[in-house]
Amino acid sequence: MELPAQTFQVTRADLIRYAGASGDFNPIHWSDRVATKVGLPGVIAHGMFTMALVGRAVTEWAGSPDAVVEYGVRFTRPVVVPDDDQGTEIEVTARVREVTEDGLTRLEVTATCLGEKVLSQARATIRTAR
């Protein structure tokens, strides 16, 4: 069973706000000059910010934050965020992999940006309402 897709817009302003909240002011997250100098295609989103957006989708599917039992990902591709008002989009989808007898639902989660997967081994376990 497929769960409804969720889409999150990511702009440079979001990256600045996340940097302030997380304390991660690495210039690859705000300076094209630095990002390209180190071999990146441009400014990239913080990996943990990407993971948080996907976690927001999982929480929405679960119905509440305390229904998320387990959640993990591996980062595979950076999310490049252009310097414009639109930014970019991360689309999050999930497929139910298993529903256990004890009320847990295991999800395989996919996150893409511009049609390319940005996370691998993205999985979540949520508690199903009874």
**For the chain, domain boundaries:** 2-127
The H or E element spanning position 99 is strand 88-99
What pLDDT sits at residue 50?
Answer: 98
Assigned token pair, 118: 């940005």
pTM for this structure?
A: 0.93
What pLDDT sits at residue 129?
Answer: 65
- Torsion angle in degrees (nearest 10) through CA of 38, 121, 129, 100: -170
The three-point CA angle 93-99-103 to 5° equals 115
Q: What percent of the chain has pLDDT over 70?
A: 98
What pLDDT sits at residue 128?
Answer: 80
What pLDDT sits at residue 130?
Answer: 53
Average pLDDT over residues 64-71: 97
pLDDT band at 57 (very low <50, low <70, confident <90, very high): very high
Residue pLDDT, tens place only, 68-127: 999 999 999 999 999 999 999 999 999 999 999 999 999 999 999 999 999 999 999 999
CATH fold for the domain made of 2-127: Thiol Ester Dehydrase; Chain A (3.10.129)
Q: What percent of the chain has pLDDT over 90?
A: 98
What pLDDT sits at residue 41?
Answer: 97
